[in-house]
Structure 1
Amino acid sequence: MRESNRLAEIWPPDSEDAVWPDSTFDGIIIARCLAFIADLAVILVLLIAASLVFGILGILSFGLLWPGAALTPLLVIAYFTFTLGGRYSATPGMRWQGIELRAWNGNRPGYLQAFLQTLLFYVTVTVGTVLVLLVPFFNKRRRCLHDYLCGTVFIRSGI
């Protein structure tokens, strides 16, 4: 019974007594966009390096290791999972923009929640195209669809 009372205290997260003041979300949309572009640049460098490594290994192994190049998309998932679930709860692009990912209880997300955040981002954008990215324009916490689905929010760092 105590557990259900505790849940009632923190749910729903969009209530007026939520963890963060509204100013925490000022400029979050543009910061997320710029951070994602910066992260794409980092990922591009990583993918080019991985492709070169697998290309060289493929030549040295007479083609036996070329199928390993099919694993390079996992690099993208690993990049976001380990940076969002890590010490700073932010990718390098997000740190540059001064934002970080938090769970609704205010804690930093673990690796499982960071993986879920990453996976849901790519699934919702693939299925719903750009329309799912319009969601933050219609809520005061500026949360995207995948943020709602995995119980996370992006905030300004240091809050």
Structure 2
Amino acid sequence: MTDTYQQDGQNLDHAFDGVLTRRVLAFVIDYMLIAVLLVPAWVILFFFSILTLGLGFMLYPVSFFIVAGLYFALTLSSERQATPGMQVMDLTMERDDGRRIDFSIAVVHVIAFWVINSLLTPFLLLAGLFTSRKRLIHDMLLGTCMMRASATYR
């Protein structure tokens, strides 16, 4: 089996050049955006907590996971199949079978990233140095890969 990635007979090996570096930078951009999104979420949660006589305050510890999970799931399953950070860094996520990333795959992808990252930090990124197509562990488990958006066509 060859490591050459092809899309409709077109060799796309160049689509994986610099993906790991771009992926790390996209991660930083995305988490800065999530930090900004947390502020209005906390304001909404504050008023919700008042309406529920304080029960809503129990959602504050998990508010990051809710906002970040929705952020990644909605953006990865969008038409561009990329988060805003990934778009800035010219990245897109593709499935091995050629189908679109749907909402459920995007949710499982972010949960798998968080779980594997909490267990294997920083070895999660080291896997990308030794795998074909610069794939990380959760990419291999879910049958996805990250590639340069400018190298593909839609």
Specify if TM > 0.5: yes
CA deviations over 1:115-144 (Å, ceiling 9, x no partner): 121111111001112112110111231101
> Structure 1 residue 59: deviation in Å?
4.7
1:40-80 deviations in whole A, cap 9, x for unaligned? 00100111221232234435655243223344121111111
Name the count of aligned residue pairs: 146
* TM-score w.r.t. length of structure 2: 0.84
The answer to whether the 8 A contact 2:94-2:101 is kept is yes
1:123-134 equivalences in 2 (<5 Å):
123-134=115-126
Which of 31, 49, 71 aligns to 1:40? It is 31
Secondary structure, counterpart of 2:106 in structure 1: helix
Shift of 1:17: 5.0
- What CA distance in whole angstroms lies between the structure 2 residues aligned with 1:52 and 1:157? 36
Q: Verify the 8 A CA contact 2:3 2:133 in the aligned structure 1.
A: no
Question: Which residue does 2:86 correspond to in 1?
Answer: 94
**Aligned alpha-carbon RMSD (Å):** 1.9
CA distance in 1, matches of 2:48, 2:113: 32
Match of 1:137 among 129, 148, 152: 129
1:9 — aligned with what? none
Q: How is 1:6-17 mapped onto 2 (pairs within 5 angstroms)?
A: 15-16=2-3
Larger CA deviation: 72-81 vs 103-112: 103-112
| Larger Rg computed on CA atoms | 1
Matched, 1:50 2:37: no
Could you tell me how far apart the structure 2 residues matched to 1:61 and 1:106 are?
45
What secondary structure sits across from 2:133 in the alignment? coil
| Aligned equivalents of 2:110, 2:41: Cα separation in 1 | 20
Conserved in 2, the CA contact under 8 Å of 1:28 and 1:99?
yes
The TM-score normalised by the length of structure 1 is: 0.82
- Give the match for residue 151 of structure 1: 143
Deviates further, 123-132 or 89-98: 123-132
Which of 76, 101, 117 pairs up with 1:84? 76
SS of the aligned residue for 1:148 comes to helix
Given that 1:55 and 1:66 are in contact with CA atoms closer than 8 Å, whether structure 2 keeps it comes out as: yes
Distance in 1, Cα, partners of 2:96 & 2:123: 24
- Aligned equivalents of 1:149 and 1:94: distance in 2? 21
Structure 1: which 5+ runs fail to align? 1-11
The residue that corresponds to 2:5 in the other structure is 18
